């Protein structure tokens, strides 16, 4: 690679040198979950081996050390997305973060939990806005919230090339809109969405913006406060980190006024048998024992990404994306989803092969050592929009090589001949 020392990077990821079914692994499924560098595995093992103790409780030495590591991890991960530590809430992942927000808004509607929450209360006829390109994690929580409150769920369509229809957005987003939720990058289309434009439309009508940053956080320099969104979520396991950990970023005044979702230990100041007072953010949203070793693992992951440098990561993945897109366009019978011109992208392509079922394509690729994702990728409405029930998705990360992209392309070129669907 022109920008990264790929041999050194690949040596840091033990799984990449495994053989699967006798062939070297070509892992092109990082949008589902990324591989983990040894530094992340070591950070978790080291913590569990030497420091493990309950955080924010107990005065003994290990508890104090564990608390310090846990809060250092928060500061490290918050800084990675441009935020101060108190504006980063630990969650179990993006799905958990989005549900936290949706349930919190439901509690605001019920008048529970935070003195300033009335500004978030939803009334029947208020509107929640999403896009047609959501992962189900940023769709179903809003369907449920609409069902609980009488709010109406509306959506912004995408154009045939996968870009968001900003003219439609300008009419869908109105004085009735209370929430505008959208992906920074769709996990199917790979296009970096126009955050500034959508935030401007939402701010003009006083709607809360919620950004799904799952597919951008591992791939681009991210400054959530600069993007101007009110709330944003990401998942650790997609950005070289452990499972069961993720982040919810919020603007300070928004977090201050949001009621808690989960309640219980660790999120209170004083409790009587009849009522409780809650801590300020982020602790207000962190009821119960937290995923401490996972948070420490995620801090090691973002330190790894920072050491490589996110601008270099993005440039490398963009080159892989271009090679993949150019190669796929030249193979007869391939239809790329979201093949828009002049847009910023991350390193993934979902595609349909004319005359061959996506599951057969992925099986054929797997037989040649190329691991890709197949199905609707938790985005059924978007697939329906393109007249499909499933697609094949190849997604790259910083550790993938141009040679691996070529192996994907060679394998895809053989698919239609093998299945008798034309040359
Ligand atoms: N949003 C997007 C865009 C995603 O790609 C994913 C994971 N596929 C999610 C949300 C959900 O993330 P998680 O399963 O880690 O909660």
- Determine the pLDDT at residue 117: 93
Low-confidence ranges of the chain (pLDDT < 70): 1-2, 422-423
Handedness of CA 102, 108, 110, 113 (dihedral sign): positive
- Determine the pLDDT at residue 22: 83
Q: Ligand 1 centre and the CA of 32: distance in Å?
A: 8
Record the pTM.
0.97
334 and 369 part of one domain = yes
Atom of ligand 1 nearest to the CA of 92: 16
| Residue to mutate (ligand 1; options 93, 137, 379; most atoms within 8 A of CB) | 137
Q: Ligand 1 centre and the CA of 131: distance in Å?
A: 15
Q: Ligand 1 centre and the CA of 276: distance in Å?
A: 33
| Number of structural domains in the chain | 2
53 and 145 part of one domain = yes
275 and 293 part of one domain = yes
- Determine the pLDDT at residue 423: 52
180 and 144 part of one domain = yes
Ligand 1 within 6 A of 29 CB?
no
214 is catalytic: no
State ipTM: 0.98
In degrees and rounded to multiples of 5, residue 112 shows phi and psi of -115, 140
Q: Ligand 1 centre and the CA of 95: distance in Å?
A: 6
The answer to whether 100 touches 261, Cβ cutoff 8 Å, is yes
Ligand 1 within 6 A of 135 CB?
yes
- Determine the pLDDT at residue 1: 59
Q: What CATH number did the domain enclosing 50 receive?
A: 3.40.640.10
Ligand 1 within 6 A of 95 CB?
yes
List own/partner pairs for 306-309 with CB under 8 A and 24 or more apart. 306/80, 308/4, 308/9, 308/398
Q: Please check whether residue 423 lies inside any domain of the structure.
A: no
Q: Containing domain of residue 255, as a range?
A: 43-305
**Residue of 378, 388, 413, 421 marked active site:** 378
273 and 402 part of one domain = no
Residue finishing a domain among 275, 305, 335: 305
Q: Please check whether residue 269 lies inside any domain of the structure.
A: yes
Q: Please check whether residue 37 lies inside any domain of the structure.
A: no
Q: How far apart are CA 301 and CA 41, in angstroms?
A: 9
pLDDT in tens, 118-140: 999 999 999 999 999 999 999 99
Atom of ligand 1 nearest to the CA of 96: 16
Q: Please check whether residue 81 lies inside any domain of the structure.
A: yes
Residue finishing a domain among 259, 279, 305: 305
Q: Please check whether residue 175 lies inside any domain of the structure.
A: yes
Ligand 1 within 6 A of 187 CB?
yes
Q: Please check whether residue 361 lies inside any domain of the structure.
A: yes
Q: Ligand 1 centre and the CA of 33: distance in Å?
A: 9
- Determine the pLDDT at residue 114: 83
Ligand 1 within 6 A of 106 CB?
no
299 and 315 part of one domain = no
376 and 405 part of one domain = yes
Residue partners of 235: CB distance under 8 A and separation at least 6: 93, 94, 95, 214, 217, 246
88 and 171 part of one domain = yes
| Residue to mutate (ligand 1; options 95, 191, 376; most atoms within 8 A of CB) | 95
In degrees and rounded to multiples of 5, residue 394 shows phi and psi of -110, 125
Please tell me the residue having the least CA distance from ligand 1 atom 12. Answer: 94
184 and 117 part of one domain = yes
Residue finishing a domain among 305, 336, 367: 305
């Amino acid at each position: 690679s022109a920008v990264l020392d790929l041999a050194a990077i690949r040596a840091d990821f033990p799984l990449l040198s495994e053989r699967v079914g006798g062939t070297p692994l070509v892992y092109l499924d990082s949008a589902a979950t990324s591989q983990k560098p040894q530094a992340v595995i070591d950070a978790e093992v080291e913590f569990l081996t030497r420091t493990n103790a309950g955080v924010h409780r107990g005065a003994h030495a290990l508890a104090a050390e564990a608390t310090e590591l846990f809060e250092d991890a928060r500061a490290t991960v918050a800084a990675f997305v441009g935020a101060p530590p108190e504006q980063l809430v630990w969650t179990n992942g993006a799905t958990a973060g989005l549900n936290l927000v949706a349930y919190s808004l439901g509690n605001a509607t019920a008048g529970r939990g935070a003195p300033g929450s009335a500004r978030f209360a939803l009334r029947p006829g208020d509107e929640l806005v999403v896009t047609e390109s959501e992962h189900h994690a940023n769709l179903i929580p809003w369907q449920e919230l609409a069902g609980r409150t009488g709010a109406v769920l509306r959506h912004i369509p995408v154009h045939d090339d996968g870009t968001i229809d900003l003219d439609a957005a300008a009419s869908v987003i109105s004085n009735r809109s209370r929430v505008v939720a959208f992906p920074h990058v769709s996990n199917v289309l790979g296009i970096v969405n126009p955050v500034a434009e959508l935030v401007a439309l939402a701010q003009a009508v006083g709607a809360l913006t919620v950004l799904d940053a799952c597919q951008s956080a591992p791939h681009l320099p991210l400054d959530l406060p600069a993007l101007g969104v009110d709330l944003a979520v990401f998942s650790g396991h997609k950005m070289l980190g452990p499972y069961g950990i993720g982040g919810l970023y919020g603007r300070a005044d928004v977090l201050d006024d949001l009621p808690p979702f989960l309640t219980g230990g660790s999120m209170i100041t004083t409790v009587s048998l009849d009522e409780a007072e809650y801590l300020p953010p982020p602790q207000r949203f962190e009821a119960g024992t937290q995923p401490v070793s996972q948070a420490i693992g995620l801090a090691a992951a973002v330190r790894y990404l920072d050491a490589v440098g996110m601008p270099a990561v993005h440039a490398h993945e963009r080159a892989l994306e271009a090679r993949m897109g150019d190669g796929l366009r030249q193979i007869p019978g391939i239809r790329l989803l979201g093949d828009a011109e002049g847009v910023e992208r991350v390193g993934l392509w979902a595609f349909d092969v004319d005359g061959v079922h996506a599951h057969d394509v992925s099986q054929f690729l797997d037989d040649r050592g190329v691991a890709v994702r197949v199905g609707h990728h938790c985005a059924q409405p978007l697939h329906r929009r393109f007249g499909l029930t499933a697609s094949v998705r190849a997604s790259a990360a910083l550790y993938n090589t141009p040679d691996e992209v070529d192996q994907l392309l060679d394998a895809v070129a053989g698919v239609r001949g093998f299945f008798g669907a034309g040359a």
